[in-house]
Structure 1
Amino acid sequence: MKILTLISSGLNRPDINKLLQEEAADRMPRISLYQRELNSDMLDERFLQTIPKWRKIIYKFLPIVLQQVIEAYIICHKYDLVVTWAERLAYPFAFLLKITNRRVPHITLNSWISNPKKSKFLKLTISHIDKILLWSSVQKNFALNHLKIPESKIEFIRKFADQKFFRPIERETDLICAVGSEMRDYPTLVEALRGTDIPCHIAAGLTRGKLYNTVKALYDIKELPPNITIGPKYYYELRELYARSRFVVVPILPTDTDNGLTCILESMAMGKAVICSRTVGQVDVIQDGITGIYVPVQDPLALREAIIYLWNNPEIAKKMGLAGRRYLEEHHTFEQFIESMRTIIEKVIMEHKQRKNNL
């Protein structure tokens, strides 16, 4: 079995040799595990640097996403199945298959299909997507109940953290932290911490070369409290930040997606309690009062109360963190995700072969 995975990872990601060195040195998560275990070529931005020169000349006039999609279309005959990681890659690829009447085993990992524009494009291209894998049960329900997509095409899949890289590490917990960019409500966090003496580092910056408006709003705050610092962290620096944090705060703007889930799972893997905004979409992981605390969206007073409570009760924070680590080990490890993917991939490939034999 050989698969092709379309994914956006940015040109800052190390090449495979450097990646393996960094993983072996325990400086970054085992990103290559997916590639090795599922025998996948990764068609990311760096992959485009290896293609024939004549295609590079043509592609330079196109956005990178379209470059990836067209390249996948050209080479997908070499593979048993194509995985598209995100809607912006999935739907253009499926559309290209549709207008050329070409059948290729294709599954996609999606996070926000309730977005009106994405919903329209999904309905247009669903005929050339075999399985839509969704990180969120809310999004799965939307697909079934609103878009009326057949249940056979929809699957809820648990997101993961590399539990071997992000693991409990004994450190003095002398601060708290917040991590991430998408749909973050950092102004509310700043107001919640204003006037307290609780140190907090917000690990946020450019994401794949882009500064999200949610992060820009943080940098635009003119009078940042002295107990708050800001700046991105590399993987091993981020792990150290988690280790030093008594707990982790994930302030999220109103959304029906799973925004914040990567940070939540990494925090749980590190054995840290999580304070999170109770959005419509963030419902599948945190157990309120057991592995973390939910607070109302955009409520600095409620957030301040939760922060002060866990800061002043480190044993409760530690108990929640240990419960979170157990939950992650049971449901959200990297290996569990890969095995789920393997099962789905093998089933889709088999179904394609059966349909082909019946023609």
Structure 2
Amino acid sequence: MGDHVRSLVLTDADLEQYAAEHAAGERPGLRPYGMERLEDLGHRLRSVPMRAGGRLVEALEHRTGRRFGRALRAAPVARDSDLVLAVLEQWAWAPGVLARVPRSPYWRLPLVSVVCWAAEDLRTRPERERRRVRALLARSDLVGYWSRNQTETYVAHGIEPDRLVPLTFGVETAFFDGDPDRERDIEVLSVGVDRGRDYATLAAAMRGSTVQVQVLSRPANLAGLDLPPNVRAIGTVPQREYAALLRRARVVVVATHDLAYPTGQTVALEAAAAGAAVVVTWTQAMSEYFSDGETALMPPVGDPLALRGSVERLVADDGLRRRLGHAGREHVLRGHDSARMWDELDRALVERELRR
């Protein structure tokens, strides 16, 4: 293995800006998703700044959902890179296409795609969109994803098992560190903007309850819902303030739909790291992250009575809340720190001979 592997990173963040925001205390890690761990493993992470690509490019990207402007601007960097790391599927499309264009800077450049929604799209989207997802995955030399239950879906759609690597999603535990025994002044906090959030079940569960719930989300996620008086929407906040809210919350509830991927795992893990007791909907994907009654309470999908019972039980039982808070925090520290996720990815790159 050489001293460095030159890895071109395409993701939603500008690496240098992200590092500057981290230095100011506004981001949990030096790189998005804690990928600075790859630098410890011999990767030289490289990228190009995020910037507008002109009206035509912006219009085409918005219309197609395919981000290609940044990949084109990164062509000089790609020319002397060893691989492309695309984190989230919208960033994998352009390098995947260009890798098959002779004389392109991306020609035959290994593409490593870390995807989130692809398995769910393969299960539920119209055939035209499924073809697009299959093409994206087929062009990727390695596909990482965040729960093992998705493997069967990918294989059923023709993706070879030796190109699939389930990753253990992790969070930056130092940034979200909290003491389960500290005094907390927020009774219940619910967080999330993912399309998998089930705020309708949360609203139904809390209607008529005396428990006070604050919901940290975008207005679009709550559109059309009649929230009861004890459920208050507080919008969104910067990450530093979000981490502080997790440390103030006695209980963090993450109500979700049943999707192929573990929707809500980021918030649930960050809340557990911060010492809050977690209530998260049980799904097959989420069962890889928490154990019902041991590290969280996990009511069934779409069951307001069960969700309400779990929340009210933790609010009323301080001993149980603290026990779950300690167990959940230790569970995240042992098994779901972000470094583990990138260790697993790098090990897969070595095993598949995709890096020096």
Give me the TM-score of the superposition, normalised by structure 2: 0.83
**More deviation, 163-172/115-124:** 115-124
Q: 2:86 corresponds to which residue?
A: 84
Report the counterpart of residue 34 of structure 1 in structure 2: 35
Matching of residues 114-133 of structure 1 within 5 Å: 114=119, 115-116=121-122, 119-133=130-144
Match of 2:212 among 199, 203, 228: 199
Corresponding position of 1:208: none
RMSD: 2.7
Q: How far has the Cα of 1:283 moved from its partner?
A: 2.3
The Cα of 1:260 is off from its aligned counterpart by: 0.5
Which residue, out of 179, 186, 197, partners 1:184?
A: 197
Mapping of 1:147-166 within 5 angstroms?
A: 147-166=157-176
Match of 1:110 among 89, 97, 115: 115
Match of 1:141 among 152, 171, 191: 152
Whether 1:260 aligns to 2:261 is no
Q: 1:179 to 1:111 in 2, by over 3 A?
A: same
C-alpha contact (below 8 Å) 1:6/1:89 kept by paired residues: yes
Q: Aligned partners of 1:110, 1:338: CA distance in 2, in Å?
A: 14
Q: In the TM superposition, what is the alpha-carbon distance from 1:58 to its structure 2 partner?
A: 7.2
Q: Deviation per CA, 1:221-251: give whole Å up to 9, x if none.
A: 3454145232212112111211111121111
**d(CA) in 2 for partners of 1:141 and 1:98?**
27
327-336 or 114-123, larger mean C-alpha shift: 114-123
How many residues get paired? 330
Q: How does 1:42-81 map to 2 (within 5 A)?
A: 42-43=47-48, 46-48=49-51, 59=57, 62-63=60-61, 65-73=67-75, 75-81=77-83
2:187 to 175, 185, 202: 175
Partner of 1:52: none
- Decide whether aligned partners of structure 1 residues 316 and 156 sit closer, same or farther in structure 2, where only a CA change above 3 A counts: same
C-alpha contact 2:68 2:93 (8 A) present in aligned 1: no
Identity percentage of aligned residues: 21
Gaps spanning 5+ residues in structure 1: where? 50-54, 206-214, 354-359
TM-score by length of structure 1 reads 0.82
Instruction: Answer yes or no: is the 8 Å Cα contact 2:203–2:231 preserved in 1.
Output: no
Paired letter, 1:155: V
CA-CA distance at 1:219 after TM superposition: 4.1
CA deviation map 1:38-91 (0-9, x unaligned) = 421244xx4336xxxxx7687456427121233345531121111011112213
Q: Is the 8 A contact 1:139 1:257 kept in 2?
A: yes
Is the CA contact (8 Å cut-off) linking 1:171 and 1:243 kept in structure 2?
Answer: no
The aligned counterpart of 1:225 is: 229
Contact 1:177/1:245, CA 8 A, preserved across alignment? yes
Alpha-carbon separation, structure 2, partners of 1:245 and 1:57: 43
Judge which range, 301-310 or 226-235, deviates more: 226-235
Q: Deviations over 1:199-226 (max 9, x none)?
A: 2111112xxxxxxxxx525243345414
Q: In the alignment, does 2:325 pair up with 1:321? A: yes
CA contact 1:81–1:345 (8 Å) conserved in 2: no
Question: In 2, distance between residues paired with 1:217 and 1:57?
Answer: 28
Contact 2:147 2:261 in 1 (8 A): yes
- Could you tell me how far apart the structure 2 residues matched to 1:315 and 1:141 are? 40
- Partner AA of 1:275 in structure 2: V
In structure 1, the partner of 2:247 is 243
Change (3 A) 1:248 1:75: same
Q: Using the TM superposition, give the Cα deviation of residue 112 of structure 1 relative to its aligned residue in structure 2, in angstroms.
A: 2.5
Separation in 2 of the partners of 1:62 and 1:174?
44
CA distance in structure 2 between the aligned counterparts of 1:126 and 1:217, rounded to whole angstroms: 29
Check whether the contact 1:187–1:217 (CA below 8 A) recurs between aligned residues: no
The DSSP-based 3-state class of the residue aligned with 2:8 is strand
